[in-house]
Amino acid sequence: MNFRRKVALALADILFLFLSLVLALGLRLDFDLGSMERFLSLEALLLYVGVAMWGVVSFSLFGLYDKVWRYAGVYELLGLFYACLLTFVPWEIFVLWGAGIIYPRTAAVIAGLLGLAACGGLRFLLRIQSTRRVLTRAGKRKALVVGANDGGEAIVRELAREDSGLVCVGLVDPDPQKKGLRIHGAPVLGDLSEIPALSAKYGVQALILAGVKPALVREVVRLTSAQPELQLRIMPNLSEVMEGQVQVNRLREVQIEDLLERDPVVSDMQAVRGYLEGETVLVTGAGGSIGSEICRQVLKYGAKRVILLGRGENSIYEIGMELRNQPVVQFISNVGNKERMEVLFQRYHPQVVFHAAAHKHVPLMELNPSEAVTNNVFGTKLLIELAQKYGVRKLITISTDKAVNPTSVMGASKRLAELILASRKIPGFAAVRFGNVLGSRGSVIPTFKRQIAQGGPVTVTDPQMTRYFMTIPEAVSLVLQAGSLAQGGEIYVLDMGHPVKIIDLARNLIRLSGYEPDVDIPIKIVGLRPGEKLYEELTNTGEETEPTTIPKITRVTTEPPPANWSADKLEELRKVSFASDDAQTVEILKSLVLQTPPSEPPSTP
């Protein structure tokens, strides 16, 4: 508020407080001029002006002239209440001391209430005037808020800003009992089923989802699939709402992650910082989806330096440019190149290693089994040996649910890498096993988006196929926490939540893109590809798990193989895979992994 407006408001307060004292006198004495006359002498009137001026001082002490009253809430109301107490309590004490001769004693109490009402009413009028100006401002797009809850209240309040570009016409809520209620003047117009009709009736252009559960998000997406012109937006996370940090310009589009039943991951920052802060950290596959996110999060935990290792120069260049103001080193090499890797360890002496480099594409590795084994098995084996040789304190290798009862070359190669690490039992070295991550390169989401952009069809291998999904940040957060638990050769399994049907994922993504599944964009069933399963598991047949101190991480408790496990077979596998003898590579890989029939598929909610 500028200086001129502050002065104007202070003068108005003086007038209203003065009039409150006079009006309270009249109310107390029934406006009997004869009785009032002795309290309206020039000396008394000057005394009332003094009280009013003291009121302005009290208001200043509580910062009431520094408030933006168009955003006033309970906090500002309490400040006004306390300022009025500071104004009128001394006046009441003074009146009581004068035994009612200076001013009627009960009139002092009435004056306090009138002063609070008058000064509060003035500020309330300022807010009403500002809100009315915002609501009638031309060019604003109309928005409907989903959720008459704390998040909805925060959004309605935020939309009252002049610069929001949106005006709230009302709210909808799953609870029909809330219909007819109002939040900051905005009515609750109905329940979710009425969204299409209400959007058409009020000319709604944006639908803002406020803190609703994934099941409700899915329902909203389904209900609005026939209205592609209706923009869907969702508020930031609830912690920002509770802290009053919601900003309309931070509302984002609804994403596929919002449709999944996922509990938030709570990081044990102290434990992670304890082994990363001040250390040199090597991240293999640093240009990939998981590797690049590991780099970002590791730097947040105070790593002294992060070595970005990858075989693809473009991806390493991109993550290097993103982190160019951070202490990072870019190093181009295949993780299986012994000479280059030896140079890396000699030059930089990493204390912590995250091994995310791997060939992950299942059908492609079925066509290239020798390459899958040389990279996923012997690249990992070399990294473990060099890390042990150069005194690395922590090594975490990223595994996959496809390593469980594997039916593919890729899964078997990752399972063999797990067994090699488990057999060594090196202190601080461990594997972390989890499923698919949303949005990673080559994963199903980018593929579906590309197919939708081309007009379809969206290809699904089987209507019953399910997969576990996590977001990249939450998967990496749990990997870093698992690193704090690593003792020596164990395998950790991340809680992946509920398996999701791929066909449901496809339908929801089509709806999020503004189309109707099987109407605008067809879905085509193409059958299982080589090496694929209908479902994934998180533990092998015969494996048992036990909880850890971190709720969403469990430890595999099966006895690991001995240190000299299958040394001759491994050497034979190395020779045939390096010679690109695909047939022999697959046979020896099968014999080492000892593939077992998969267990019954998990139930799908």
Q: Are 188 and 148 in contact (CB under 8 A)?
A: yes
Q: Look over the chain and give the mean of its residue pLDDT values, rounded to a whole number.
A: 83
All structural domains of the chain, each given as residue ranges with its CATH number in brackets, are: 3-134 (no CATH), 141-254 (3.40.50.720), 269-436+469-496+536-593 (3.40.50.720)
Averaged pLDDT for residues 272-295: 94
Between 31-45, 311-325, 487-501, 560-574, the lowest mean confidence (pLDDT) is in 31-45
Residue 586 in contact with residue 577, Cβ under 8 Å?
no
pLDDT at 523: 93
- What is the C-alpha radius of gyration for the chain, rounded to an integer number of angstroms? 34
Vertex 291, ends 290 and 296: CA angle to 5°?
Answer: 95
At 417, the pLDDT band (50, 70, 90 cuts) reads very high
Q: Exposed, middle or buried by CB within 10 Å (0-12, 13-18, 19+), for 511?
A: buried
Percent of the chain past pLDDT 70, that is, above it, reads 86
Q: 152 versus 300: which is more confidently predicted? A: 300
- For residue 242, is pLDDT > 50? no
- Compute the average pLDDT of residues 425-442: 83
User: Taking CA 50 as the corner, what is the angle to CA 45 and CA 55, rounded to the nearest 5 degrees?
Assistant: 125
Catalytic residues: 402
Q: Is the pLDDT of residue 255 over 70?
A: no
The whole-model pTM stands at 0.68
Residue 519 pLDDT more than 60? yes
**Average pLDDT of the residues in 574-579:** 95
The sign of the CA dihedral 154, 155, 156, 160 is positive
Lowest mean pLDDT among 45-59, 85-99, 459-473: 85-99
Compute the distance between CA of residue 557 and CA of residue 335 in angstroms, rounded to an integer: 29
Kindly indicate the confidence band of residue 240, based on its pLDDT and cuts at 50, 70 and 90: very low
Give the mean model confidence (pLDDT) for residues 558-573. Answer: 83
- Three-state DSSP class for 234? strand
- For residue 74, the model assigns a pLDDT of 66
- What is the arithmetic mean of pLDDT over 392-411? 93
For the segment 227-238, what is each residue's pLDDT rounded down to a tens digit? 767 777 777 554
